[in-house]
Structure 1
Amino acid sequence: MLATIIALAIGQVALKAQAADTHEYKLDNGLRVIVQEDHRAPVVVSQVWYRAGSIDEVNGKTGVAHVLEHMMFKGTKQIKPGQFSRLIAAAGGRENAFTGTDYTAYYQQLEKSQLPLSFKLEADRMANLELTKEEFSKEIRVVMEERRWRTDDKPQGMLNEQFNAIAFQAHPYGRPIVGWMNDLENMTFEDAREWYHHWYTPSNAILVVAGDVKGDEVYKLAKQYFGPIRPHALPARKPQLEPQQIGERRTVVKVPAELPSILMGFHVPVLQDADKDWEPYALEILAGVLDGNASARLNQNLVRQQQLAVDVGASYDMIQRGQVGLFELEGTPSEGKTVAELEAALLEQVERIKQDGVTEEELQRVKAQVIAADVYQRDSVFYQAMRIGRLETTGFSWRTLDSYPAKLSAVTPQQVQEVARKYLIKDTLSVATLDPQPIDPNAKPKGKPHEH
């Protein structure tokens, strides 16, 4: 109990400090600017988030959001292909980008005096990207290599992809972010250009800056570099909901691998109303009861005591723009044990919580652990910006962070038991098992690592 009180107190102090040092602005063209001041070191992180990810793609063009992310490094009228990265490196910084289901983001981390360089380059490619057929034909091959490297060559990557495909049969979350290979093989220069012109506009972007800066100074810089960019109307976004699952789904993935494994998921709700919802917080606590550290139930019972598994896990993410979520369980059976035995054991742990609930001591441990981790992660300037960007692009305010510790602390043992009983049921369960096939010692990787 004492640990929870201390962690909550620390969290509330940290959140009050963040709220005082966080500033929000909006340019005339619709670009939102959020600045998180942190003056502990003379560094700054600048991130541009676009509210466009694989969730916005259509069948036949999967992977185009990620392809466009690659093309954003291929030059403008002023910047030659590859020069963006060289300029940031010459300034002593680092940069990269990532594509998710709900967003695409680009970032630079620099010494604070170099922030104008970051803004100049990002504003330039937001408005003036030069998409050429020559560069596209080169980069699409790089993306296909990346898919081979990250998915086709990785048993766990194949398992995850097939699991999502059965867990989401109508919702775009069932499609891989990197895209299906057939779609990549048939993607055109026009597909990438269409994506850029549809979604890359100031009114669909959020500029997040964290570090040793002043809010008003960042705002002036943003107006200088991003302000002249003219916005355009966005395409209409149609609701994309997953029909109610009415029975268990299963798939078996047979690929060369050393060990079998299992991935299971139940359909559960995600956060929609940050003020009123309580179930997502109870589900997050439930995941912590099952997983999170060496004393959590899955590791304690299945790895240490019963020695059924070499590793196990439980996970849940309450922040999803697609308004659908999964509560996942996974594991790798120990030598001499089967996937079926491990599956039964994982489900048994869930049933125990349904029947007997969780103890107050267990609940307090998890709350302290989750809240303390949340507080300590704020030590990273990059992570501070990431939290803000992800919340804002998925439809929530960064102010949602203010209530997070209190919401978790308010969860009761009865609520944890209630969400387990209500949502972790067989009719909403999807199961993917990895059936390892013999590994050819002479086989070469299909793909290779990539650079943007």
Structure 2
Amino acid sequence: MALRRLLTTLLLASLAPLAAADRVHHHELDNGLTVLVQEDHRGGVVASMLWYHVGSGHEHRPITGISHAVEHMMFKGTETRETGEFARQIAREGGQTNAFTARDFTGYFQLLAADRLELAMELEADRMHQLVFDPEEFQREMQVIHEERRQRVDDPPEARAFERFTATAHMASPYRHPIIGWQRDLDRLRLEELEAWYQRWYTPSNATLVVVGAVEPERVFELAERHFGEVPAREAEPQPEGREIDAAPGERRIEVRFDDARVPMLFLGYNVPSLATAADPGDAYALLLAAELLDGGRSARLPEALVRGSGVATSASAGYSPVARLDTLFSLVARPADDQDLDDLESALREQIHRLQEEPVADSELERAMTRLFAAEVYARDAPMGRAQRLGRLASTGIGWEEAQRFEERVRAVSPEAIQRAAETYLQPERLTVGRLLPGEED
């Protein structure tokens, strides 16, 4: 007990200097672009991330995968620069650049020496409103995307099973669509649809620029005004509804069997609110700590009870992210041991959920879970890129970047009773989807 208190004290001491440096400087351009700046002068680098508040969670059939396709086209030419020039200029300055598409956002980032920040802003502002949609480049990138889907989704049986499970778990939510898009939609996606999507969502008022590193806030705002201020203002599209039509539609089950699967796998997913959709933010943090109790390291409940204890599973994990624009899932994933079947494994997982509902967690166990979350927070905030990601995700999901500064307070406010209440409310069979992956029948 004394050792644990000492570790907690040391951890909070390490949080203190970061908290002092966590001030976020905020500025909004006349065209609607939001600029967030955090100073971090421990190194001479800067992370510049431009977040567009659009992703696969804004899509519908038959244009699923369109946000990811636009991300690919953003590395092609603009009206003033030829294809590939963006990446070449960043590389010449010794920097790194890349992008990613998620459910709620599409992000573009550069990691550079701090005195090269203006180059990143100049290039990003250019492609924000002057992107060229070349038919030949489009065909080449669609071939790349087809191959990407084949490698990431179509080939691994676990990924194919998870894709079907997700589509079942999200009954009325666009989260049911894969980020890369359904294959049939990719086959018919047209260049003019990409250009219309770009014109619709790639506007200053639907974007957040996050800059973290060895910079002065006023200088960043000056550069943002100089380069992004010239981008024409366009009214942003309203964000789609964030709640499931029915958050408790009844238990659903899906079973898939693939010949190339070698090991069974079990998925459980409960429809739960995110920080953006929860009536009480405390519910989201209680669910976050419930997931940490189940799967927060070697001593957590799932590995302790199911892997090393009963031996019913070779692996078992739980996950919940409160940072989402729409209702989301509280998920459990497990593989049975060789001599166990999926029925026994499912019963064991459900028993752990039942335990959360019936038994208030001990203060000492809750303290360990909180300490692990704080440790992960310290690690994530240690580098400029981690801080920029944290602010960008919160801003892009409608939760608000201010929530980053409430993290410790929110976590510490969660009581054993709050976790028990959240489990009783949200981790119910009528909110559950069960997915089973089975190997092909042996000859």
Give the TM-score range, shorter chain. Answer: over 0.9
Counterpart CA distance in 2 for 1:325 and 1:351 is 20
Equivalent residue for 1:171? 173
Equivalent residue for 2:311? 307
Shift of 1:238: 4.1
What is the letter of the counterpart of residue 297 of structure 1? R
Whether the 8 Å CA contact 2:104–2:324 is kept in 1: the answer is yes
The residue correspondences of 1:124-139 to structure 2 (distance < 5 A) are 124-139=126-141
Please say if 1:380 is aligned against 2:370: no
Please say if 1:349 is aligned against 2:349: no
Compared CA separation, residues 246 and 204, structure 1 to 2 (3 A): closer
Compared CA separation, residues 116 and 438, structure 1 to 2 (3 A): farther
Equivalent residue for 1:392? 395
Gaps of at least 5 residues in structure 1 are 440-452
Counterpart CA distance in 2 for 1:260 and 1:398 is 40
Whether the 8 Å CA contact 2:58–2:240 is kept in 1: the answer is no
Compared CA separation, residues 177 and 364, structure 1 to 2 (3 A): same
Whether the 8 Å CA contact 2:38–2:211 is kept in 1: the answer is yes
Shift of 1:11: 3.1
Once the two structures are overlaid, the 10-residue window that deviates more, 334-343 or 427-436, is 334-343
Whether the 8 Å CA contact 1:11–1:405 is kept in 2: the answer is no
What is the letter of the counterpart of residue 342 of structure 1? L
Equivalent residue for 1:423? 426
Please say if 1:287 is aligned against 2:291: yes
Please say if 1:365 is aligned against 2:368: yes
Counterpart CA distance in 1 for 2:328 and 2:79 is 42
Equivalent residue for 1:263? 267
Residue by residue, what CA displacement relative to the aligned partner does 1:137-183 show, whole Å, maximum 9, x if unpaired? 21112111111111001122112211110011211011111000000
Counterpart CA distance in 1 for 2:251 and 2:150 is 30
Shift of 1:242: 1.8
Q: Normalising to structure 1: TM-score of the pair?
A: 0.93
Once the two structures are overlaid, the 10-residue window that deviates more, 422-431 or 265-274, is 265-274
What is the letter of the counterpart of residue 420 of structure 2? Q
Counterpart CA distance in 2 for 1:422 and 1:6 is 35
Gaps of at least 5 residues in structure 2 are none
What is the letter of the counterpart of residue 423 of structure 1? Y
Between the two proteins, the alignment pairs up a number of residues equal to 437
Please say if 1:46 is aligned against 2:48: yes
Counterpart CA distance in 1 for 2:361 and 2:113 is 48
Counterpart CA distance in 2 for 1:330 and 1:252 is 14
Compared CA separation, residues 385 and 275, structure 1 to 2 (3 A): farther
What is the letter of the counterpart of residue 348 of structure 2? A
Equivalent residue for 1:101? 103
Whether the 8 Å CA contact 1:12–1:405 is kept in 2: the answer is no
Q: Normalising to structure 2: TM-score of the pair?
A: 0.95
Counterpart CA distance in 2 for 1:46 and 1:275 is 33
Equivalent residue for 1:67? 69
Equivalent residue for 1:447? none
Equivalent residue for 1:449? none
CA RMSD of aligned residues (A): 1.9
Once the two structures are overlaid, the 10-residue window that deviates more, 356-365 or 4-13, is 4-13
Please say if 1:252 is aligned against 2:255: yes
What is the letter of the counterpart of residue 337 of structure 1? Q
302, 315, 321: which is aligned to 1:317?
Answer: 321
Higher relative contact order (CA 8 A, sep 6+): 1
Compared CA separation, residues 240 and 18, structure 1 to 2 (3 A): closer
What is the letter of the counterpart of residue 265 of structure 2? S
Shift of 1:277: 2.3
Whether the 8 Å CA contact 1:285–1:416 is kept in 2: the answer is yes
Equivalent residue for 1:435? 438
Whether the 8 Å CA contact 2:275–2:399 is kept in 1: the answer is no
Compared CA separation, residues 399 and 15, structure 1 to 2 (3 A): farther
Shift of 1:258: 2.1
Shift of 1:332: 1.0
Residue by residue, what CA displacement relative to the aligned partner does 1:241-281 show, whole Å, maximum 9, x if unpaired? 32223321111122212211111111112214899521111
Equivalent residue for 1:123? 125
Shift of 1:326: 1.1
What is the letter of the counterpart of residue 370 of structure 1? L
